[in-house]
Copies of this chain bind each other. A is one copy, B any other.
Amino acid sequence: MPVQGEFKTIQKIKEMLLPLHRKDVKVGIGDDCSVLDIGLEKEYLLLGSDSIVEGKHFLYNMPDRSLIGRKAVGAALSDVAAMGGYPLFLTVDLGVPNYLEREHLEEIVSGMRFLLDLFDVDVVGGDTVKSDVLYLSVSVVGKVEKEKVVLRSGAKKSDWIWVSGPLGGSLYRRHLLVSPRIPEARFLVQNFTPTAMIDISDGLVKDLFHILEESNVVAELVKEKIPVHKDAKNWEEALYMGEDFELLFTLSEYDSQRMLASIGALPYRFYPIGKVVDSGTVGLYLRDGRNCYPLSPKGYEHF
C-alpha cells in the first residue's frame, strides 16, 4: 500500500521509533523541535530539521534562486522560534542534480547567507550528494532557557489565541521569502509566558489543530479579528493557505490583557484572533457575527 499523507507517515514512523532509549530527551518527535537536556545548567538544546525539494516546494527555473536557500534555512530557523528559542548552528545536506549550474548554486547559498548574517547563525557541516532532483535538508541546533521553552501542549481554557502577523496569500510568492520570527519569539518569552506556540507552515486552522490536539482543548476563532494579508485573494486563505511562517500562540487571559494594554508600545505587532473556550476534548469553531461554524483541520496539504 503506498504511503499516503504526511500525518499518517509521520505517525507510523514515530510509532516505529518508540520507545526512546534516552532520558535526556524532554520532547521528541512531534513538536517543532525536540527539547534535549544535555547537561547545561540553564538551557535546553533544541534540534529540528526541514527539507525542501525541487518540483514540490520550488521550481528549478525560478527567477531568483536565492529564495531556495532562504526558504530552506528560514523554515528550519522558524522551528526554533516556535519553541521560544534562538538558533546557533546548521547543517545543510544538498542533493545536487547534474544540471545544477555553479552560478545557481551560488545564488542558493547567497539566500542562506542572508539569514545566517541576520541571525548570527553558522553552517557548520553537511553533505553534498548526487541526486536526480535538487533538494536541501537543513538541520538546526538552538538553545532555549529551561523555564522559557514553549511546547504545543500547554494551551488552557480561557487562554487567548494570537498570531504575529497577517495571514493568507503566502503561496503566490511570500512562502519562499521566509522571515523567521526569532526576535518576536524571544520578545514574547522574555516578556510574557506563552502557554503554547507553533509556526504556521500548514495554514492557521491545521496548525492550530496541532496545538488543540496536543493541549486537548476547544477553541473559537473570531472571523473579523483574523488579520488578512494584502496578498490574499480571499479571507479563507488566511485560514487554510500554508507557509505564512508567522507565530501562532496562546497567552493566559492575564497576559493577554497585559499585551492588549501595551499593544501600541510593543516593538512587534501581535493580533488576538480567538480564545480557548473548553478543555477535555478537541474542537475548533469560527464565530462570524451571530453565527458559529465548526472548522476541520484541512489546511494546505504539503504532502
Q: Which residues of A contact B (CB under 8 A)?
A: 1-3, 6, 9-10, 12-13, 16-17, 20-22, 24-25, 28-29, 33-34, 36, 38-40, 43, 45, 47-53, 55-57, 88-89, 91-96, 98-103, 105-106, 109-110, 112-113, 116-117, 120-133, 135, 137, 139, 141, 143, 302-303
A78 CB, nearest partner CB in chain B, Å: 12
Check A52 against B91 for contact (C-beta < 8 Å): no
Check B21 against A116 for contact (C-beta < 8 Å): yes
> Within the assembled complex, what's the spacing in Å between the Cα atoms of A259 and B19?
40
Check A129 against B89 for contact (C-beta < 8 Å): no
Residues of B contacting A40 in the complex (Cβ-Cβ under 8 angstroms): 38-40
> Within the assembled complex, what's the spacing in Å between the Cα atoms of A55 and B95?
12
Residues of B contacting A2 in the complex (Cβ-Cβ under 8 angstroms): 98-102
- Extra pairs beyond A12-B105, A28-B124 (11, CB < 8 Å): A9-B128, A12-B106, A13-B128, A22-B88, A22-B121, A29-B123, A36-B141, A38-B45, A49-B91, A132-B132, A133-B133
Residues of B contacting A39 in the complex (Cβ-Cβ under 8 angstroms): 40, 43
Check A47 against B3 for contact (C-beta < 8 Å): no
Residues of B contacting A28 in the complex (Cβ-Cβ under 8 angstroms): 122-125
> Within the assembled complex, what's the spacing in Å between the Cα atoms of A302 and B33?
32
Partner of A139, one of B91, B100, B101, B302: B91
> Within the assembled complex, what's the spacing in Å between the Cα atoms of A55 and B112?
28
A49 CB, nearest partner CB in chain B, Å: 4
Check A102 against B20 for contact (C-beta < 8 Å): no
**Given contact pairs A102-B2, A109-B17, A93 touches B50 in the complex (Cβ within 8 A):** yes
Residues of B contacting A24 in the complex (Cβ-Cβ under 8 angstroms): 88
Residues of B contacting A3 in the complex (Cβ-Cβ under 8 angstroms): 96, 100-102, 105
Check A130 against B38 for contact (C-beta < 8 Å): no
Residues of B contacting A56 in the complex (Cβ-Cβ under 8 angstroms): 129-131
